[in-house]
Amino acid sequence: MFEAKGIAFILLDIACLILGGLPLAILKLGKVRPYQRGFFCQDDSIRYPFHDSTITSTVLYTVGFTLPIVSMLIGEWLTVHLNRSKPSSPFSKSFLVAVYKAIGTFLFGAAMSQSLTDIAKYSIGRLRPHFLDVCKPNWTQINCTVGGYIENFSCGGNTRLSNEGRLSFYSGHSSFSMYCMLFLALYLQARLTASWARLLRPTLQFFLIAASVYTGLSRVSDYKHHWSDVLVGLLQGALMALLVVFFVSDLFKKKEEAVKPEEISHASFVESPTNGNFESPN
């Protein structure tokens, strides 16, 4: 019965993970067109040239998933190993449960973070700084002399790049990198508690957050996003990481374990400094 109950919980977790990533899957795999926003002819913020990404999507997702997951595998094994009197097997039940909780929570938050990002992207359809360069509208059919808002136009450039050019707000690179790196930084805060790590821990955390910020800044210098897209992306990723770590995971909940009754009874008496007897602190 216990095993059946455990399997039911696992299936429920998988269902929640799928639901968390469902909007992302629908928008990406369903070939949904982003909101068709127009532009002003005088808007110089969308006239930048198209550049290749400094941090490609392949690098982003490889590092974003691999670094936290490998760190959690090592961290959970060390935690289980050091809390046992005998060395634990890498495949012990307690280790597998700990890894399942840590990595499962991380993936759940990542799915929701990316879903929220793409919902905003496709709903708002803000034009990227390089939009006109990839769209290549037919200027002969556009009257810019009136200085109005141009909505009726068609792109003559690559269709995929033109559609991608409408997904500026907010930055997915920024939100994903900040979520992954802040989640890992908070994981280190919860697990790397040895006295010898009092400077090592904040140093590692600094470089994790710095890597995320650099990723966001590179999106501005590559003309992929406006600065406000990056700022909102970083804030959204940070907020999601904080919510998942403190309200979904149990990384910091061990510090809130209930005190045993015998410990309460023992703590209710203190030794009197005057006569050596035990008396109530009240």
By percentage, how much of the chain surpasses pLDDT 90?
70
Query: Is residue 255 in some structural domain?
Result: no
The yes-or-no verdict on residue 259 having pLDDT over 50 is no
Q: Does residue 256 carry a pLDDT above 60?
A: no
256 part of a folded domain: no
**Catalytic residue, candidates 130, 173, 226, 266:** 173
Please tell me the predicted confidence (pLDDT) of residue 258. Answer: 39
Q: Which amino acid is at 108?
A: F
- What domain range includes position 230? 51-128+167-250
Residue 184 within any structural domain of the chain = yes
Q: What is the pLDDT of residue 81?
A: 81
Predicted pLDDT of residue 87:
52
Label residue 9 by pLDDT band (50, 70, 90).
confident
Q: Is residue 203 in a domain?
A: yes
Q: Cα–chain-centroid distance for residue 263?
A: 40
Element (H, E) at 278: strand 278-279
Catalytic residue among 51, 81, 130, 225: 225
State the Cα–Cα distance between residues 230 and 176, nearest whole angstrom. 11
Domain presence at residue 102: yes
The answer to whether residue 43 is domain-embedded is no
**No. of helices (H) and no. of strands (E), the chain:** 9, 4
| Stated pTM of the model | 0.86
Which residue type does 5 have?
A: K
- C-alpha radius of gyration, the chain, whole number: 26
Let me know if 173 is a catalytic residue. yes
Residue that has been written with the tokens 């928008």 in this structure: 27
Structural domain includes residue 212: yes
DSSP string, 55-121: S-HHHHHHHHHHHHHHHHHHHHHHHHHHTSSSPPPTT-HHHHHHHHHHHHHHHHHHHHHHHHHHHHH
Buried b (16+ CB within 10 A) or exposed e, 142-167: eeeeeeeebeeeebebeeebbbbbbb
User: Residue 37 domain-assigned?
Assistant: no
Q: Which residue is it, tokens 């009136």?
A: 146
pLDDT at 264: 37
How confident is the model over 235-263, as a mean pLDDT?
A: 78
Q: What is the pLDDT of residue 25?
A: 92
The structural domain count of the chain equals: 1
pLDDT at site 4: 78
- Whether 105 has a pLDDT exceeding 80, the answer reads yes
If DSSP codes are grouped into helix, strand and coil, which group holds residue 270?
Answer: strand
The pLDDT tens digits for 151-196 are 889 999 999 999 999 999 999 999 999 999 999 999 999 999 999 9
Predicted confidence (pLDDT) at residue 17 exceeds the cutoff of 70: yes
Mind listing the pLDDT tens digit for each residue in 61-92? 999 999 999 999 999 999 888 776 555 555 56
pLDDT digit string (tens) for 22-50? 999 999 888 899 999 999 988 999 999 99
Per-residue pLDDT averaged across 213-217, rounded?
Answer: 98
Is the pLDDT confidence value at 110 over 90? yes
pLDDT grade for 266, boundaries at 50, 70 and 90: very low
